[in-house]
Structure 1
Amino acid sequence: MPWTLGVPLLADESLSSWLVRAALRQGCDPLALTGAIWPGWRVWTRDVDRDIPLARLSPLVKASGIPAAKFQQAALRGACERINGHPLSDNRTWPWLLALGTRNRVRHSGQQCCQLCLAQDATPYFRREWRFAWHVGCPLHGVTLIDDCPVCQAPIEPHRLVAEDGHLSQCSRCRFDWRHTACTPISQDTLRFQQIADEVLQANPVILGKKGVTASDWFAATAFLLGVIRRASHRPASALTHTLRSLEIPVTEGLLPVTGLPFELLAVSERSTLLTATQRALDVGLVEIFAAFRKNEVMATALHDPRKPPPMVIRSIMATGTTHQKTPRSGLQKPHQPKSERAVRAAWARLQRRMKTEIP
């Protein structure tokens, strides 16, 4: 029998947001609600926003009175498989989807929000689009999203709220209400990339380099460009960096996140900076960029990891000119060397990131 207090899915609401709101509406903790719906299934140890398995939908439909189709439409799997062009494994990070970094019920990251959107909501809730890694700002309010508590710097973890909290717009650790914090303006280049990516997700085909490609091709090419920019920022004196700067594509050490983590695990500030540079590269154009690479004799191995070939849409552009190859390295092993300062700083930053989530 459905709950006496119905909780409808709101426009573009994420599944985890709805589950938390449903629990608070029933006057209980999210953990208690999901335990009653799915005894023995630890739903909060997984990324429920991706999807709810078909076998688990029946008790949820029965309890909520909401058709299964609406829950499936709210899930992110369909959009993410369109972005990647193939089915996705449950046990791996999904490209372009923020990773939660789950350890039991504790999260390292993955949730973000706009304080002004929450402030204007009659009932605060989290949007599906806030889970996409290219979403770093709010186009409605022109501000940067937040991905941790401005007061205690804890990750945003709505599922760890309790019945007494009443709403989602507060920190589950220090209980600070995010609706009362100052906002940071978002870069227009970053916001432009975000809006283009949103349009690409809905279009088929899309235009890239004056030719029609699929949405998955566009996202693959953009991810490749983003990787090239990260590699260049690690090599400030290289021909790659010189070429990008000559095209007025910003490449500085500030573009290289100190943790060295994948894009889907980076903080919103780091993703915003990288997306600004990526949008400048898209403005220049792929054909023009690779022509400049050939002119400056940028090695193909400087653009990507040789163990991971570039996407087909990039390979077709690279094949239109001469590819400069680097002389193969000797098979002799180098003697043991101390780790570089950058490697030590990256390890320390990752340790600090883990420690932040474990503070009681």
Structure 2
Amino acid sequence: MPWTLRVPLLADESLSSWLTRAALRQGCDPLALTGAIWPGWRVWTRDVDRDIPPTRLRPLVKESGIPAPEFQQAALRGDCERINGHPLPEHGTWPWLLALGARNRARHGGQQCCPLCLDQDAAPYFRRAWRLSWHVGCPLHGVLLTDACPACQAPIEPHRLVAEDQHLSQCSRCRFDWRNIACTPLASDTLRFQQHADEVLQANPIFLGDKGVSTTEWFAASSFLLGVVRRASRYPASALAHTLRSLGIPVTDSLLPVTGLPFELLPVSERSALLTAVQRVLDIGLDEVFEAFRRNEVMATALHDPRIPPPGVIRSMMTNGSTHQKNPRSSLPLGHQPKSERAVRAAWARLKRRMKTETS
């Protein structure tokens, strides 16, 4: 029998947000609600925003009264598979989707929000778009998104709220209300990349410079450019870094995430800085940037890991003489060597990130 208190899906609402709101509306904890819908299925140990398996949809449709196509449209799998150009596995990190870093019901991260949007909502809720890794700011309010509680630094975990909390705009650990925080202005270059990526996800045809490309090719090229910026920041004295700086593209230590984690696991401030640099590359144009690489004798192996081939649209520029080709040098193992300061700092930062997670 459907619930007496109906809870409709709101515009661009994520599945985890809706499940949490539905639970609070019924006067119970999210864990209790999902346990009643799916006895024996630990839904909060997975990333439910990706999708709800078809076999699990029937009881949810029966209880909520919402048609299955609405839940399927709210899931992120379709957009992520359009970006990547192939079916995605059930487990593991999906490119361009923020990773939750789940351990039981606890999270390392993966959720972010705009406090000003939550403040304006009649019923605060989380948007699907906030789970996409290139979303770092709110275009409506022009501010950087928040990805941790400013009061206790805990990850955003609305699914761990309890019935007494009543709304989603608060920390599940310290109960601080995020609608009261001061926000950081969003850089214009970062916003332009975000808006362009949103258009690429929906539009056809798509151009990268003067070349027509698919959605998958555009995102693959952008991912490649993120890697180039990160490599240049790691080696600030290299020809690659010198070339980017000469073009007015920022290359500093602040663009090199201390943790060395994939883009989908980085905090919003680090993703914002990287996207600003990539937008500068796109503004200049790939042809001009690769011509500058050629003039400064930047090796192709300086741009990417030789074991991972670049996307086709980039590979064509590299093989057309824009960069020097060089076989990677093999070297004998050096045995046990002291780790560099950077490696130690990265390991320490990753450990602190894990320590933020509470065990269930």
Q: In which range does the TM-score fall when normalised by the shorter chain? A: over 0.9
Partner of 1:174: 174
Q: CA deviation at 1:324?
A: 1.9
| Alpha-carbon distance in 2 for matches of 1:152, 1:214 | 42
1:320 matches 2:332: no
Deviation at 1:58, TM superposition (A): 0.1
Match of 1:348 in 2: 348
Please report how far the alpha carbon of residue 233 of structure 1 lies from its aligned counterpart in structure 2 after TM superposition: 0.2
Counterpart in the other structure of 1:256: 256
Percent identical residues: 80
Residue 244 of structure 2 is matched in structure 1 by 244
Structure 2 residue matching 1:319: 3-state secondary structure: helix
State the shift of 1:335 in Å: 3.5
Match of 2:72 in 1: 72
Partner of 1:127: 127
CA distance in 2, matches of 1:137, 1:159: 22
Using the alignment, how far apart are the partners of 2:10 and 2:322 within structure 1?
53
Which SS does the other structure have where 1:358 is aligned?
coil
Q: CA deviation at 1:322?
A: 5.5
In the alignment, is residue 358 of structure 1 matched against residue 345 of structure 2? no
> In terms of mean alpha carbon deviation, does 326-335 or 250-259 score higher?
326-335
Q: Check conservation: 2:299, 2:326, Cα contact below 8 A.
A: yes
1:282 CA drift (Å): 0.6
Residues 143 and 186 of structure 2 are in contact (CA less than 8 Å); yes or no, is this contact kept in structure 1?
yes
State the alpha-carbon separation in 1 of the partners of residues 201 and 332 from structure 2: 47
How far residue 313 of structure 1 moved from its aligned partner, in angstroms, is 1.3
SS state of the match for residue 320, structure 1? helix
Q: Where does 1:29-178 land on structure 2 (aligned, <5 Å)? A: 29-178=29-178
Task: Tell me the secondary structure at the aligned position of residue 212 of structure 1.
Answer: strand
Aligned partner of residue 97 in structure 2, secondary structure: coil
Q: C-alpha displacement at 1:325, in angstroms? A: 3.0
- Within 5 Å, which residues of 2 pair with 1:227-306? 227-306=227-306
Partner of residue 203, structure 2: 203
SS in 1 for 2:212: strand
Q: Distance in 1 between matches of 2:68 and 2:359?
A: 38
Separation in structure 2 between the aligned mates of residue 256 and residue 179 of structure 1, nearest angstrom? 31
Per-residue displacement from partner, 1:42-90 (whole Å, max 9, x unpaired)? 0000000000000000000000000000000000000001111111111
How big is the shift at 1:204? 1.7
Q: CA deviation at 1:331?
A: 4.5
- Aligned-residue offset at 1:358: 2.7
Aligned residues: 360
**Deviates most, 320-329 or 252-261:** 320-329
**CA shift digits 1:136-189 (9 cap, x unpaired):** 100000111000001000000000000000000000000011001111111011
SS in 2 for 1:321: helix
Shift, 1:359, TM fit: 8.1
Runs of 4+ off more than 4 Å: none
Question: How far 1:329 moved relative to its partner?
Answer: 2.3
- CA change 1:331–1:142 in 2 (3 A) is closer
User: 1:214 aligned to 2:223?
Assistant: no
Give the secondary structure class of the aligned counterpart of 1:344: helix
Q: Secondary structure at the residue paired with 2:353?
A: helix
Rounded to whole Å, the distance in 2 between the matches of 1:273 and 1:66 is: 40
Normalising by structure 1, we get a TM-score of 0.98
Write the distance in 2 (CA, Å) between the matches of 1:235 and 1:18: 44
Deviations 1:109-128 (A, max 9, x none): 00000000000000000000
Report if aligned partners of 2:293, 2:322 keep a CA contact under 8 Å in 1: no
Q: Aligned letter for 1:232?
A: A
Does residue 4 (structure 1) correspond to residue 4 (structure 2)? The answer is yes
How far apart are the structure 1 equivalents of 2:28 and 2:159? Answer: 12
Per-residue CA deviation, residues 309-335 of structure 1 (Å, 9 max, x unaligned), is 111111112122154233542442224
Q: For 1:212-233, what per-residue CA distance to the aligned partner results, in whole angstroms no more than 9, with x for missing partners?
A: 1111110000010010000000
Change (3 A) 1:315 1:4: same
SS in 1 for 2:356: helix
8 Å contact 2:115–2:178 — kept in the other structure? yes
Specify the code of the residue in structure 2 equivalent to 1:204.
Answer: N
Structure 1 residue identity aligned to 2:213: V
Distance in 1 (alpha carbons) for counterparts of 2:78 and 2:17: 18
- Would the alpha carbon gap of residues 328 and 223 (structure 1) be closer, same or farther in structure 2, given more than 3 Å must change? closer
Aligned to 1:193: 193
- TM-score for the superposition, normalised by structure 2: 0.98
- How many angstroms apart in 1 are the aligned matches of 2:339 and 2:167? 47
Separation of aligned partners in 2, 1:49 and 1:61: 16
Could you list the runs of 5+ residues in structure 2 that have no partner in the other structure? none
Secondary structure of 2:290 counterpart: helix
| Counterpart check, 1:338 vs 2:322 | no
SS of the equivalent of 1:119 reads helix
Aligned AA (1:172): S
> 2:20 maps to which residue?
20
